[in-house]
Structure 1
């Protein structure tokens, strides 16, 4: 089990229009094991590596839309208190606080920019990511906004106590510099926010969940063989090769690998 600091990402999941197809796809793509909780829990399916939880999916309930990407949730001490504070800071509640057995209490919201996120109060010490940062597990959370990253992250800074820092490699002349994110109580960086460029400028602000892989190009090729598709062709960014793959249902997940020559 991995230690999850308050304010850090604690879980990621999605709603699927085809549970069977997406389950087989993720098992084949990342080598994950799956465990279906059964009809009493809406057939919620958890994926894992060696018994350690990675992410989850569940069939899309009637009246709701399948996920375009995995949703990201952050750890809080009290879901109810944090939800109330989020509303005071300008967020909108899309699903009020609700308990899931004795495991967790969660709420879903939209931040002031309209990006979806969740708040999770862990009622059981095993709740959340059992692995983070290893190959074929979630390793990063990235936000894009058509604006100044640090300004967009102020909401989360006020709500979750994050450290929001401009990294030393950023160009001092950049009016919209990258913002690196880490828990306020200490801990490693878990994500970042960048200014939207290119096609992103036509998209609403949103979080992307990123999975570490050994070879982004090979994973893209495998996604096609498994009935999925490539949503964003592999491209190089500083230190990484990144891409986006879509499950048979259309849900997109970002992947990244070291650049081959580095």
Structure 2
């Protein structure tokens, strides 16, 4: 499994209204294998890149009564101590939606909302194998993006204080831009895991939120395949610097982003 630094994304999952339908959809779309943990763990289902040693990618579980299915995939970040992280998050203006609670001997987690009301989670890995088994390869999560109607650095200050991120303006950003992009990495890790951009277009009507991006070979072809499998295209493919990006929705409506290098399209 990859080494997951403190503060970096450690896992992503979602609540579904149709476990069987979404499981078949993800398997068909990304070529994943799946493992259902059974009723004891709420039929939590883990998807992996198949192989001699399957590498976990993300998970889904049936939506519990009284809760709403996920609109997008949830994103959780690794912390050394979940309870301490929750206390600090509260002091920084966050609200707690669930936890802290433990999942067997694997992890201790909590789900929160940042001061802008965007959902995120924190995970303390009690087992060293907890978390992503792969990151950045084709058909695995490769990026986390946050949109905010304002200066990205302002929105990320909470996470810098909570998770000790490095949040910097990349060298390609226009010096005249009053709301420049913010690139994100775990403290001391040279590899960026995501970023924050100023909301534009339709995003201005949406609340701030995290989006998870899966790397694929061909975003256009994947959108066509999603429709064939009973899903839909939530955001038509478009070009951004160096990438072709799109949003796809499962048969039950949960949306995930995908991207491919433009040279592959």
Normalising by structure 1, report the TM-score. Answer: 0.99
Alignment correspondent of 2:206: 203
Give secondary structure in 2 for the equivalent of 1:11: strand
Structure 1 residues 218 and 165 mapped into 2: Cα distance closer, same or farther (>3 Å)?
Answer: same
- Give the paired residue count: 262
Question: Please, which moves more after superposition, 184-193 or 166-175?
Answer: 184-193
Give secondary structure in 2 for the equivalent of 1:22: helix
Alignment correspondent of 1:21: 21
Alignment correspondent of 2:9: 9
- Unpaired stretches in structure 2, ≥5 consecutive residues: none
What is the correspondence of 1:80-99 to structure 2 with a 5 Å cutoff?
80-99=83-102
Alignment correspondent of 1:217: 220
Alignment correspondent of 2:107: 104
Give secondary structure in 2 for the equivalent of 1:260: helix
Structure 1 segments (4+ residues) deviating >4 Å: none
For 2:264 and 2:92, how far apart are their aligned partners in 1? Answer: 45
What is the correspondence of 1:38-53 to structure 2 with a 5 Å cutoff?
38-50=38-50, 51-53=54-56
Normalising by structure 2, report the TM-score. Answer: 0.98
Out of 244, 249, 255, the residue aligned to residue 246 of structure 1 is 249
1:186 Cα deviation (Å)? Answer: 2.1
Instruction: Say whether the 8 Å CA contact 1:46–1:54 is kept in structure 2.
Output: yes
For 1:74 and 1:90, how far apart are their aligned partners in 2? Answer: 17
What is the correspondence of 1:43-192 to structure 2 with a 5 Å cutoff?
43-50=43-50, 51-192=54-195
For 1:128 and 1:188, how far apart are their aligned partners in 2? Answer: 18
For 1:59 and 1:191, how far apart are their aligned partners in 2? Answer: 28
1:260 Cα deviation (Å)? Answer: 3.2
For 2:75 and 2:208, how far apart are their aligned partners in 1? Answer: 13
1:185 Cα deviation (Å)? Answer: 3.1
- Unpaired stretches in structure 1, ≥5 consecutive residues: none
1:140 Cα deviation (Å)? Answer: 0.3
Offset from partner CA, 1:164-198 (integer Å, 9 cap, x none): 00000000000000000000132410000000000
1:261 Cα deviation (Å)? Answer: 6.5
Give secondary structure in 2 for the equivalent of 1:80: helix
For 2:189 and 2:231, how far apart are their aligned partners in 1? Answer: 38
User: Root-mean-square deviation (CA), in Å?
Assistant: 0.8
Instruction: Say whether the 8 Å CA contact 1:5–1:185 is kept in structure 2.
Output: no
